[in-house]
Amino acid sequence: MPEFVPLEAGTWPLFERLFGPGGVQGGCWCAFFRLTGPEFRAAGSTGRKDHLRAAAEAGKPLGLLALVDGQPMGWVAVSPRPDNPRLARSRLLASDAPGVVWAITCFYVDRRGRRRGLAGELLRAAVGYATEHGAEVVEGYPVVNGNRPPADLYHGTVAMFTDAGFTMVEQRGPARALVRRELVSAR
């Protein structure tokens, strides 16, 4: 049974161990959505890592780690949508949801933890985490099953989100979708 812990200063070493020295996916360090395009390119892998570490040390909500027997096995990035400036600039990921919106932008599961349903458990934990922090709506931007290579599954799949109570708002292009789960009636 996994344990889910937020990424913060005290859990940073676990995150670093999970992501390894390269920062997963070409040195992203899960900063892709948290930085604008020019900022992301200029930062390089080291700058991206430093950016995320500084946010963790400042206590910003960033996401959750899945620990299995005390070992980091998975990650989900979940945070307030405004903390992800790339979402606002993307035609594909634009949203008009009212209220306090949180975004689930990324999943990573270590190869030792794959094919065990851990990503789905991370998704459910992320919704709970967002709810505890005042989210009224949680959005995701998954791939439409079968229309993307396996390397793009870090966004999750539509089926995974709908199984967790999300509704498909609309398909965006041939390969992506906007999904949403309302937690509290928008005011």
Q: What spatial distance separates the first Cα and last Cα of the chain, rounded to whole Å?
A: 37
Query: What are the residues whose beta carbons fall under 8 Å from the beta carbon of 86, sequence distance 6 or more?
Result: 32, 33, 34, 35, 36, 37, 40, 93
* Residue 141 phi, psi (nearest 5): -135, 55
Residue-wise pLDDT for 33-83, tens only, equals: 999 999 999 999 999 999 999 999 999 999 999 999 999 999 999 999 999
Q: Is the per-residue pLDDT at 160 higher than 60?
A: yes
Selected residue with higher pLDDT from 135 and 184: 135
Residue 167 domain-assigned (yes or no): yes
Question: Cβ(13)–Cβ(21) under 8 Å?
Answer: no
Q: Is the per-residue pLDDT at 91 higher than 50?
A: yes
* Residue 4 phi, psi (nearest 5): -115, 125
Task: Taking residues 1-30, report their average pLDDT.
Answer: 93
Q: Is the per-residue pLDDT at 187 higher than 50?
A: no
Residue 187 domain-assigned (yes or no): no
Task: For residue 151, name the pLDDT band (cuts at 50, 70, 90).
Answer: low
Classify 150 as helix, strand or coil: helix
Q: The whole model's pTM is what?
A: 0.92
CATH number at residue 151: 3.40.630.30
Query: Which contacts qualify for 146-150: CB closer than 8 Å, 24 or more apart?
Result: 147/174, 147/175, 148/175
Range of the domain at 176: 3-182
Q: Could you tell me the two tokens for 102? A: 């949180």
Q: What is the pLDDT of residue 16?
A: 95
Q: At what angle do helices 12-19 and 37-57 cross, to 10 degrees?
A: 140
Classify 19 as helix, strand or coil: helix
Q: Is the per-residue pLDDT at 186 higher than 50?
A: no
Residue-wise pLDDT for 101-147, tens only, equals: 999 999 999 988 787 889 999 999 999 999 999 999 999 999 887 65
Strand pairing class (71-80; 63-68): antiparallel
Residue 161 domain-assigned (yes or no): yes
Residue 171 domain-assigned (yes or no): yes
Question: Cβ(69)–Cβ(112) under 8 Å?
Answer: no
Q: Is the per-residue pLDDT at 19 higher than 50?
A: yes
Residue 10 domain-assigned (yes or no): yes
**Tally of domains in the chain:** 1
Q: Is the per-residue pLDDT at 29 higher than 80?
A: yes
